[in-house]
Amino acid sequence: MAVLITESNDAAWSYLVEARKHLTQEQLSKSLDVNIRTIRRWEAKQSIIKPYIVPALQALLPFERAGVDAEAEFKFIDLFAGIGGIRTAFESEGGQCVFTSEWDTYAQKTYAYNFADGHSIAGDITQIDAADIPEHDVLLAGFPCQPFSIAGVSKKNALGRAHGFADETQGTLFFDVARIIQEKKPRAFLLENVKNLVSHDKGRTFDVIKRTLTGLGYSVHTRIIDGAHFTPQHRERILIVGFRESVAFDFDAIPLPEKGQCKLKDILHRVDGTEPLLEWDGDRFFDHSNQKVLDKYTLTDNLWAYLQGYAEKHRLKGNGFGFGLVTGESVTRTLSARYHKDGSEILVYQGDAKNPRRLTPRECARLMGFPDTFKIPVSDTRAYRQFGNSVVVDVMRHVAKLMHPLLSADVLEPDLPFANRAA
């Protein structure tokens, strides 16, 4: 059954009735980020279900999977999907998402609001049977990194315990990626993680990951790419690409623009009258009447004094802890999921006579490479966390361009020309 976005409150109410067959009022309240009293008023038809709630409500229903798009050039699944940054990139290359998994209900809400395409969002990946996942050409996963416990094979043999793939990765979320690859055998995969994955546990964690993927029958290619090639933000991430067939994949074929060409001013709200009025944002972040960012994003005197004092204390100790004050000409530090707390890693300078300000959630979306058509249906706090945990979309788009010929070609040639493919 296809998802139909409608502003009819009758349709919205029918979704609510169906959802209540599977979820309690408390579960609905948490999933939709609304007060439980609001749920009760909806059920009693004492208040209107707002249109922006509908996609998130639909995502909670047990929809049938969408049919395969005959025009799609390849099919992919989106694991640890977050708010869909990797999906955005691969859809731009003609791919169709046929399965999504994301455990965080607030991220589900944002994802569903932007990708209402007929299949529900699965929750905890550890509870999903790999056999139930539809066939796909490429597996995408921005999996969390958890510590690996590695012990010698001889010791495991002596204790009569399993070793190798099942034992070395069991208990980590990477294990769930690996078991799905083992079951479904997609043509390719793309995994994304923090740069420190490479050095974690003196490199042993990364070694287990590579050995596991190679042991499943894939050629594995890795590269660390800084988002600063595409956006005014230093954000180094390890990308792991694997192919089941022997193909001429070369990460070096990605034409990386010179760092520093993108400046912070490219993503900041414009105060010269050219800031676009987005109907889904309205004046939530930017006061269009007065051409200014809302005052709530400017730091209070107390918070600004605290951050300056904290920075000075660490400066006297000889280390570099402190805030990151930036201008329109800057390239920022990495946007983190904790940005909502004080915004200290990226504070926008507003002149000596005014305290600096945080980026708005819309500016964070732009900093991560999301288009202005991407909607933000959650609170500022949730939005900051979601963008801080996301990927730089332009990095993923270039990787998707590089992988695309090998995902859709009927005959794979070892010398396909890639040099201009990702331009």
Can you tell me the distance from the alpha carbon of 331 to that of 410, in angstroms, rounded to the nearest whole number?
Answer: 42
Q: 261: Cβ–Cβ under 8 A, 6 or more apart, which residues?
A: none
Q: How far is it, in rounded angstroms, from Cα 190 to Cα 130?
A: 18
pLDDT mean by block of 10 residues, the chain; 423 residues: 44 75 76 86 86 73 50 88 94 91 89 79 87 94 61 40 48 85 95 86 85 92 94 95 87 88 95 92 95 96 90 74 88 92 91 95 96 93 95 95 79 43 44
Determine the Cα–Cα distance for residues 176 and 127; give it in Å rounded to an integer.
9
Q: What is the pLDDT of residues 272-299, one digit of tens each?
A: 999 999 999 999 999 999 999 999 999 9
Q: Supply the pLDDT for residue 125.
A: 87
**Based on the number of CB atoms within 10 Å of its own CB, is 127 exposed (0-12), middle (13-18) or buried (19 or more)?**
exposed
Q: Which SS3 state, helix, strand or coil, does residue 362 take?
A: helix
Looking at residue 145, its pLDDT comes to 61
Length of the chain: 423
CA angle, residues 113, 180, 201, in degrees to nearest 5: 95
Sign (positive/negative) of CA torsion 299, 301, 303, 307? positive
Evaluate the CA torsion angle 273, 340, 332, 147 in order and state its sign: negative
Question: What's residue 143's pLDDT?
Answer: 83
The CA distance from 32 to 112, in Å, is: 11
- Let me know: does 390 contact 82? Beta carbons within 8 Å: yes
The residue type at 153: V
- 216: exposed, middle or buried (Cβ count in 10 Å: 0-12, 13-18, 19+): middle
pLDDT of residue 222: 94
Owner of token pair 């034409």: 255
Which spans in 127-262 are helix H? Answer: 153-159, 165-169, 173-184, 204-215
What pLDDT does 354 receive? Answer: 95
Q: Retrieve residue 331's tokens.
A: 């390239």
* DSSP assigned state of 164: S
φ, ψ dihedrals at 361, nearest 5°: -55, -35
pLDDT for position 17 = 79
Give the Cα separation of 239 and 214 in Å (integer).
15
Residue range 74-110, pLDDT digits in tens: 999 999 999 999 999 999 999 999 999 998 888 988 9
For 380-393, give one letter per residue: b (16+ CB within 10 A) or e: bebbbbbbbbbbbb
Cα distances (Å, whole numbers) of residue 163 to 115, 150, 169, 176, 304: 40, 10, 9, 17, 53
Q: Which structure tokens are listed for 285? A: 């972040």
The pTM score is: 0.77
Q: Provide the annotated active-site residues.
A: 145
pLDDT for the residue numbered 117: 67
Q: What's the CA angle centered on 366, arms 344 and 227, to 5 degrees?
A: 75
What's the pLDDT score for residue 323? 83
**Cβ neighbour number for residue 111 with a 10 Å cutoff:** 24
Token representation of residue 398 = 């270039």
* 32/54 Cα distance (integer angstroms): 10
- Here the tokens at position 303 are 């918070």
